[in-house]
Structure 1
């Protein structure tokens, strides 16, 4: 009996020792205190420039985080949309130091992904996450820094669907639209079928269908229509072949242009158009061939002003490459929209009499009609 009692006491003592050791090990993994970002301070700002992508976008320093263990502490820089409580995190870098520099190009992409407005000062939230090398330690977060970033460019998008044969309805080979100053462009072969745009590769939940753009006030080329399927996708109805596809988020237009270059296009110049009577830069408006015999463009037309159709563009002043005025079309039997009249000026230009607004101008040389929708 004595031996049994001794054994029970021994087990109890051993259990006590193990419990103490476990508790001590648990305590060893606990952090002590807190830490904070030292520089920069909340409210500091930077203007990023696409010509210097490797320049520092932000240089961070912070106070150390004290863990009771002597293991290495790892710090991770996290960025999120301002006021989002870091619901969606982007990791910018990891280090064992108490400082790090993030290059401009990386910071720019992260800011845009977090919803920053290009070329406008936008706040983002940044914090540091600390973890120790001891297994089972919980992360500790620094104070939050609100940094003001003026980003450049814009985020690219993607398109998939049977209307884009090279992509299809999968993410193996999505069509990538390159973004520059909020204008997304791509060249692709289009078929008479459906497709949809996406902001994030591989994520079906980020789709932007026909209704998304229509409800946002975009003017869309007539060869792209609402498929009226379950997802309200785009359907391409033009002549199958190679096209240049463009989403202009500044002017709120979605356009298609036949061919891989502008060789098939005509051009609009005049005070009624956004660029006025000028060929400087890209002031002229491309009047694209969207299907066989049909030229079309969505653009802002100015009430009471004039314009003319030009047949060529050599990259400079192209007045002498051929043009077509109101009299050319009326004299060749075209039915012309009532909002377009003969200006009766020296060149017999078109005069637009409708409201100043985003309109869809179409010249159909097959049916001999000119319409403004």
Structure 2
């Protein structure tokens, strides 16, 4: 009987505690999303990898609101390629404040993570995501569209010359980079004429081929194309060699 009494008393105590706790539960509900106010829609960003640590812009927004007891709100600044409806967003920064300064490097990394093509002006959408607690109810701000020209983690080599699609005019025809082989390539049309390789759309660093023997020399001679057609060019700027094949 004593054991039964003890068990009954324990059960009543547990029920009492649960009852008290249930009375103390506070329901937090989303009320109003943040409003992104800066930078302005249409802002143009052209990133320079030599200035990666400099502040690119400061994001500012009006606070989100939640109904319930006072809670700490977490904000995430998100970026996505325009037209994707934020299916693959990149997080630029996380804060509990209503503004945050971000560097060129941080914005550039987000641009790469959300799928923007390096060295080309592309539109990106930016919004503020707010939530409370871990995985709490999320609210999303208005979306602003900006233009971003990002840089890649590798050097920006290109083709220039009368044989190339843009002739001797800027910008260069960019070369693609293969992370695995660490080589650059171009696959496309060339016309009768000449071409060279240069870095960052400038003549400061450029390569030609003095002997037309598939080796590169700094400031070397223009490389001739004698037959128009589609070509594949593969370049190793470390070994200073290249191959060119008519497809």
TM superposition score normalised by structure 2: 0.62
Aligned to 1:184: 177
Question: Is 2:79 the partner of 1:79?
Answer: yes
Q: Deviations over 1:61-106 (max 9, x none)?
A: 0001122321211111111111211111211111111001121112
* Residues 283 and 313 (structure 1), Cα distance of their counterparts in 2 relative to 1, 3 Å cut: closer
**CA offset at residue 36 of structure 1?**
0.7
**CA offset at residue 317 of structure 1?**
5.5
**CA offset at residue 21 of structure 1?**
3.7
Give structure 2 stretches of 5+ with no counterpart: 1-15, 158-174, 198-202, 234-244
- Determine if contact 2:112/2:150 at 8 Å carries over to the other structure: yes
Aligned to 1:284: 208
**CA offset at residue 316 of structure 1?**
5.2
Aligned to 2:140: 141
- Determine if contact 1:35/1:142 at 8 Å carries over to the other structure: yes
* Residues 148 and 72 (structure 1), Cα distance of their counterparts in 2 relative to 1, 3 Å cut: same
Q: Deviations over 1:150-197 (max 9, x none)?
A: 212x36xxxxxxxxxxxxxxxxxxxxxx453454267xxxxxxxxxx6
* Residues 272 and 87 (structure 1), Cα distance of their counterparts in 2 relative to 1, 3 Å cut: same
**2:116 counterpart SS class:** coil
Larger radius of gyration: 1
**1:274 counterpart SS class:** strand
- Determine if contact 1:280/1:316 at 8 Å carries over to the other structure: no
* Residues 53 and 30 (structure 1), Cα distance of their counterparts in 2 relative to 1, 3 Å cut: same
- Determine if contact 2:231/2:246 at 8 Å carries over to the other structure: no
Tell me how far apart the structure 1 counterparts of residues 215 and 73 of structure 2 sit (CA, whole Å): 65
Question: Is 2:227 the partner of 1:354?
Answer: yes
Aligned to 1:125: 125
Aligned to 1:252: 187
Tell me how far apart the structure 1 counterparts of residues 63 and 32 of structure 2 sit (CA, whole Å): 10
* Residues 36 and 283 (structure 1), Cα distance of their counterparts in 2 relative to 1, 3 Å cut: same
- Determine if contact 2:79/2:91 at 8 Å carries over to the other structure: yes
Tell me how far apart the structure 1 counterparts of residues 225 and 103 of structure 2 sit (CA, whole Å): 49
Give structure 1 stretches of 5+ with no counterpart: 1-13, 156-177, 187-196, 198-243, 254-270, 287-307, 319-350, 361-370
Higher RCO (CA-CA < 8 Å; seq separation 6+): 2
Q: Deviations over 1:279-326 (max 9, x none)?
A: 99534149xxxxxxxxxxxxxxxxxxxxx63597664568xxxxxxxx
Aligned to 2:55: 56
Number of paired residues? Answer: 193
TM superposition score normalised by structure 1: 0.43
How is 1:1-373 mapped onto 2 (pairs within 5 angstroms)?
21=23, 25-26=26-27, 29-67=28-66, 68-133=68-133, 137-152=136-151, 154=152, 178=154, 180-181=156-157, 182-184=175-177, 246-248=183-185, 251-252=186-187, 272-275=193-196, 281-285=205-209, 309-310=212-213, 315=218, 354-358=227-231
- Determine if contact 2:208/2:216 at 8 Å carries over to the other structure: no
Tell me how far apart the structure 2 counterparts of residues 44 and 69 of structure 1 sit (CA, whole Å): 38
